[in-house]
Each structure stands twice: as structure tokens, then as C-alpha cells.
A and B are shown apart, each in its own frame.
Chain A
């Protein structure tokens, strides 16, 4: 059994993604850290599917060294570090009891200040966070942590008693992998989701993403400082896409429905390109694009429709609604890049 795997995505006759899924799906091989490599642009998919890193070819010796170094770091970590942030003592203890066993080493924090201290002292594999803290809200804490350079953010599971508004949900998605509302089945879910992070070594996830990004040759002038509006009712899609685009130097605006998209455009006239999901409730993508085109200022605004619908007539429908072009879902980052290059060319 190998101790680590470096896996090329495009293997002759075999799909590297399928290999990764098989490895992660088999209990015997699930624990082996896998580092993906490919000529393709890096995407969230690799990490979502369980890879610990991504190398974009061509790969230099330094790149490889860094990858090996990270993998070695993985092996020497015998215990997984868990940080539980919850002001209620009893609840905090019960969470630790639920998850912090065996190879998991739990630490506790009852407020924002303690959390910051803990994160500065150590790298964690997972953080469970309550939103109602005595010295600041969970939102404020997350925002603060994100901006601190000397802190490596672990994957965050928000574990909260109260219902969230859509705005709060959207804001949280930017920082948290998972949000769990406390209830009858929530412990089961908490255990499952935490295991995902604790037993897949991803403490370096945010860091490796950043490293991956600086390895990119893509300091493409075409994208730098351009403003893109991403419209999709699924906030996860929005954030996944945003992260990829932000690394190209683009400024991302987000809207989770057609009406908000129209509002954003009204308030920000210098949007360069719109990515529009078609299947949305209340006002679908077709309708939204038509409304955008109805306005003189936006007649020539590049709008790329993202659609799950694959028949010729569906694509024609996108175009007749006024889209500049369309891309099938799931979005291929390479194709998106080429298409954006075309439409951003002035």
C-alpha cells in the first residue's frame, strides 16, 4: 500500500477523476493522501473529491519538492486537531465527546479571543463554530480570522441553534464549508461532516489553494481587475466559481436571484461580464437576461448563460433571450476561461 499518490488526471485510457473517486471510496485506500496533477486549470473539484493538493503542469522541481514536503507533513501528523468554539460549556463538552476521540485531539474556545489565540498557536484540521459568542458574533470572528495573515484557516463547520436568513447563509458560505442547524439529527450530521475533514488531511487546504494559485502562469492581463457578476441561486456554485475567478485577479459580484442581479447591475454600471444560471426560482435566467437586454446601457454587456439543458433548442433559447453565449453545467473552467477571454476582449 503506497503512503502517498501523485495522480495525473489525464491518464491514457483511464480517467484520473475516476481513480481518485475509487481511492476515496474504498475504506482500505481512503486515508492515502492523493496529489492531483494536470495541464488543466486547477478547480475546486480536486479538493471536494478528496485530493490534498493540485499541481499544474509543467511542473518544476521546486513545485514537486513543495508537494512532497506537504505530503511528508501529512504522515508525521498522527493526531488530528479539532477546535470547538462554543460558549455553552455543556454543549462544548458534548461535542468533544461526540467527535474528539481516538486520533482526534480537541481544543476548546468559549469566545472569539480564545479562538484567535488557539488558531495562532496551532494548525487545526477542523473548526466547529457556534455563531452566538459573548464577545463578538461568529460572522465578525470569521471575517477577522480570514484577514489575519498568520492564521491558517481550517475548514469550518458552523453549528448553530438559530435559523438563518438568506443573507446570513450567503455570507457564511464564504467562510464555512458546512452549516448545521441543531436538531434531532444534527449530531449524526456533525459527526459525518467533521469526519470528512478530520480524516482527510486538509488542514493545508486553504494554504495549498493559495500556493496553487501563485503557481499559476495565468497572470492574464485580460482578466485582471475586470468585474464579473455571478448569478446563481446555489451559493456553493457561486463561491466555487468566484474563488477560481478571483485568483485570476477578477472582482466578483454575486446575486442569488434574477431580481438581485438587476439591482446589482443598476448600482454597479461597470460590470464587464455576467455569468447567469438559467434554472432559478421566481425569475429564471431567460427572463433575467431579457430584462437586462431591455435596458439600453446593457445591450452589449457580455452575458454567458450557464445551463443544465443540453438540447439544441435550449441553447437557441439562451441566445434568443439575449445571452452572448452559453456553457453547459457542470462548468468546465478551461472552457469558461476561453469564453471569457473572447467576451472581455475590447
Chain B
């Protein structure tokens, strides 16, 4: 049997083992990304083969902990795809203003850049105080980092450019201060953000939202799992609520497509129809 075919079996076994032992379900993630991450983790571990990692993952909880924290690291920017944030400011914020209190969910928030980006927009539009933002991820390491709101200083230029392109009304430097080699976002931005652990694969609805942002998370899931998650979002939205996906993602192939009308297709903003 070819080496790659054997490795494929090993990866299946590894994912099954993790699911049985810890309940984290990576079995329906897009396989190519999973393989890449597993191979990368293998090269950093002291194991000889993919299947060689299985006993250690099963018996050594701290090893598994490192695995999970390392496994799902994505890197994004503040105001990634500035035109999307412009569209949110123009099309979504006015709708949010018609609600006495607003709830926003950043699903799969990773290290928090998007949640803080939205927080800035809400502040500038005057509705931050009446908004509760939930930023969730299944990766505790990412959440810990997100809570701090500290990013590498080298990102400041890019974030600044993005912020401006997104229609920022002041100077981006108002929102952070430079500290050693890092940029630390103002604590006030995080005041209404609740960071919590939530796993999109296994967990259910925890509240009713006016806006759900889930950008570049679904790309990691196989189609059936994407559908599961999109249904979860649909059920979590109020009538007229808005869903924002990543620019290369779509809800067109899911069972919820008929429940939504496109608000800005390019920006992947969809509004849940009021029946």
C-alpha cells in the first residue's frame, strides 16, 4: 500500500481516538487542512509517525492540550476585507439601531481581531453600549489571547490601513497603545465582549442574536458539517437578523438558503427573512 494511503488511515484513527477520548470532533473537518496540521504537529513532536502520536494523545492529557491549542491556529487581521466592514457600517448598523438592545455573536473568534474590529465600529456608530458581544471559540488558548487584545506591533500598519479603508472615523491609534514589541488594544473595547468556549461542531444554541459573524471558519468544515453549523446560526438569529460569512463562503448550498435574503452578496451579508 502506498505511503500516503497508510497515512490516511493513520489520520482517521487519530481523529477517532481524539473523539472517543476527549469528545472533540475533527472527523468532519476538511481533510486537507487537518492532514497539514497533523503533519506539522508531528514534525514538532518526538513521535516517529502519525499513529505513533495516538498512544500519547490518549494517555497524556497535557500532550493533547498542547495538540488542541496548536492545532487550530488561524491568522487573521483586524478589519480583514475592509469593504465588508464598510458594508456592515452602512447596511447592518442602521438595522441594529432599531433594536433596544443588541446581541452579536462572533463564532470561531480565534484570537479576537474581528470582535474588536466590530467593537470599534459599534463605538463609532454609538451603539456599543447597548450591545453585548459574545466571542466564542473551542480553543482555550485562542480565547486567552483574545481576552488580552494584544497583537504584534508589526501588524499596526496593516490594521491601520484596513481600519481606514473600512470607513474609520478617527485615527486607529486612538484604540491602542504600543507596549514593547506589541500593540495593546484599549481595555474599554473589551468591556461588552464576553469571551466563552463554544464548539460549533458539538454545541447548540445559547441565545438569540441580531448579528452573527462567522468568517473563514466554515472553510475548515466538510459540506455536511457546514450545513449543521449554518442551521445552528439560522436557529440562533432573530427574524431579520443578519449573518456574515467569509468572502469565499456561501450559504447557497445549505438547507437554510431559502430562509435568507442576500443583503450584500459580495460582502457575504445575509438577512433572515421574517417568514
Q: Which of B95-150 contact A (CB under 8 A)?
A: 95, 97-101, 103, 130, 132, 134
**Chain A CB within 8 A of B202 CB:** yes
Q: A310, B275: Cβ atoms under 8 Å?
A: no
Q: Which of A181-199 contact B (CB under 8 A)?
A: 181-186, 188-189, 192-193, 195-196
**Chain A CB within 8 A of B203 CB:** yes
**Chain B CB within 8 A of A113 CB:** no
Complex CA–CA separation, A313 to B132 (angstroms)? 27
Q: Which of A217-267 contact B (CB under 8 A)?
A: 233-234, 236-237
Say which residue of A169, A185, A186, A195 sits within 8 Å of B101 (CB atoms): A169
Q: Which residue of A lies closest to B197 (CB)?
A: A309
**Chain B CB within 8 A of A282 CB:** yes
Distance of A264 from chain B, by nearest CB (Å) = 20
**Chain A CB within 8 A of B258 CB:** yes
Please classify how large the interface on chain B is, using the bins under 10, 10 to 19, 20 to 34, 35 or more: 20 to 34
Q: B98, A308: Cβ atoms under 8 Å?
A: no
**Chain A CB within 8 A of B39 CB:** no
Q: B203, A183: Cβ atoms under 8 Å?
A: no
Q: Which residues of B contact A279 (CB under 8 A)?
A: 134, 194, 196, 198, 206-207
Q: B198, A309: Cβ atoms under 8 Å?
A: yes
**Chain A CB within 8 A of B178 CB:** no
Q: Which residue of A lies closest to B23 (CB)?
A: A311
Complex CA–CA separation, A232 to B97 (angstroms)? 23
Could you list 7 further interchain pairs (A-B, Cβ under 8 angstroms) beyond the known A169-B100, A183-B94? A181-B97, A192-B274, A200-B275, A281-B134, A281-B192, A284-B194, A314-B203
Distance of B162 from chain A, by nearest CB (Å) = 26
Complex CA–CA separation, A280 to B206 (angstroms)? 9
Q: Which residues of B contact A310 (CB under 8 A)?
A: 199, 202-204
Complex CA–CA separation, A188 to B206 (angstroms)? 28
Q: A237, B208: Cβ atoms under 8 Å?
A: yes
Q: B198, A180: Cβ atoms under 8 Å?
A: no
Q: B207, A233: Cβ atoms under 8 Å?
A: yes
Q: Which residue of B lies closest to A173 (CB)?
A: B100
Q: Which residue of B lies closest to A24 (CB)?
A: B275
Please classify how large the interface on chain A is, using the bins under 10, 10 to 19, 20 to 34, 35 or more: 35 or more
Q: Which residues of B contact A280 (CB under 8 A)?
A: 194
**What is the count of residue pairs linking A and B with beta-carbon distances less than 8 angstroms?**
105
Known: A164-B100, A179-B99, A181-B97. A281 touches B274 (CB 8 A): no
Measuring CB to CB, which residues of chain B are less than 8 angstroms from any residue of chain A? 22-24, 94-95, 97-101, 103, 130, 132, 134, 192, 194, 196-199, 202-208, 235, 239-240, 258-259, 274-275
Distance of B206 from chain A, by nearest CB (Å) = 4
Say which residue of A181, A192, A282, A314 sits within 8 Å of B100 (CB atoms): A181
Distance of A181 from chain B, by nearest CB (Å) = 5
Q: Which residues of B contact A182 (CB under 8 A)?
A: 98
Q: A329, B206: Cβ atoms under 8 Å?
A: yes
Distance of B250 from chain A, by nearest CB (Å) = 20
Q: A330, B204: Cβ atoms under 8 Å?
A: yes
Q: A308, B204: Cβ atoms under 8 Å?
A: yes
Q: Which residues of B contact A308 (CB under 8 A)?
A: 198, 203-206
Q: Which residues of B contact A166 (CB under 8 A)?
A: 101
A-B contact pairs, 12 of them (CB 8 A): A179-B99, A181-B99, A183-B94, A184-B94, A234-B208, A237-B208, A308-B198, A310-B204, A311-B199, A311-B203, A313-B23, A329-B206
Q: Which residues of B contact A168 (CB under 8 A)?
A: 100
Say which residue of A186, A314, A330 sits within 8 Å of B98 (CB atoms): A186
Q: Which residues of A contact B275 (CB under 8 A)?
A: 24-25, 30, 50, 196, 200
Q: B202, A181: Cβ atoms under 8 Å?
A: no
Q: A282, B194: Cβ atoms under 8 Å?
A: yes
Q: Considering residues B97, B101, B194, B235, which has the most beta carbons from chain A within 10 angstroms of its beta carbon?
A: B101
Complex CA–CA separation, A281 to B132 (angstroms)? 8
**Chain B CB within 8 A of A328 CB:** yes
Complex CA–CA separation, A280 to B196 (angstroms)? 9
Complex CA–CA separation, A282 to B195 (angstroms)? 10
Complex CA–CA separation, A314 to B197 (angstroms)? 10
